[in-house]
Amino acid sequence: METTLIILKPDAVQRGLSGRIISRFEDKGLQIVGMKLMRISGELAADHYGVHKERPFYNSLVSFMTSSPVVVLAVMGNNAIAVSRKMMGATFGSNAEPGTIRGDFGVSNSFNLIHGSDSPEAAKEELERFFTREELVECGRAIDTWVYDMSGDEPE
């Protein structure tokens, strides 16, 4: 099982889409093991998006991410990173397929509703940036035997 970071960005929160988006992850069978509503500080946004510091959109991205509260999630499941990214859809809502979060709720090429870790390494770093160990709560779910084929050594 893998855990990934998901951020429902200011546009998703301001548009009242948080519950609908969270439900999609749960409906898919992924488990929410951490969740909080927070306002990202300038320092935290600069740290999180530091890889984009030299890009022309960096300042507007930091400004956007600090403009309003966000919902930060830790989502766990088999291949949670790949599954979550596929659910999110293409980066720009105008290019995202219907049925994806961005495809169903977004049209903007600037406001793209959601962030998700893109690799196990990024997920580990990002989860540590936004959650303490105590804030992540893992517990077995009886439903997992109906979400995953548990007949082998690994959930499938």
pLDDT tens for residues 85-97?
A: 999 999 999 999 9
Q: Given this model, what pLDDT does residue 142 score?
A: 84
For residues 10 and 12, what is the distance between their CA atoms, to the nearest angstrom? 5
- Taking CA 58 as the corner, what is the angle to CA 56 and CA 61, rounded to the nearest 5 degrees? 125
Q: Give the closest residue to 71 by CA, choosing from 101, 50, 104.
A: 101
Q: Is 115 noted as a catalytic residue in this protein? A: yes
Q: In angstroms, rounded to a whole number, what is the distance separating the alpha carbons of residues 21 and 88?
A: 10
Tens digit of each residue's pLDDT (9 = 90 or more) over 31-82: 999 999 999 999 999 999 988 999 898 999 999 999 999 999 999 999 999 9
Superfamily of domain 2-142: Nucleoside diphosphate kinase-like domain (3.30.70.141)
Calpha distance 130→45 (Å, rounded): 11
Which member of 48, 85, 102, 115 is catalytic? Answer: 115
Entry pTM:
0.93
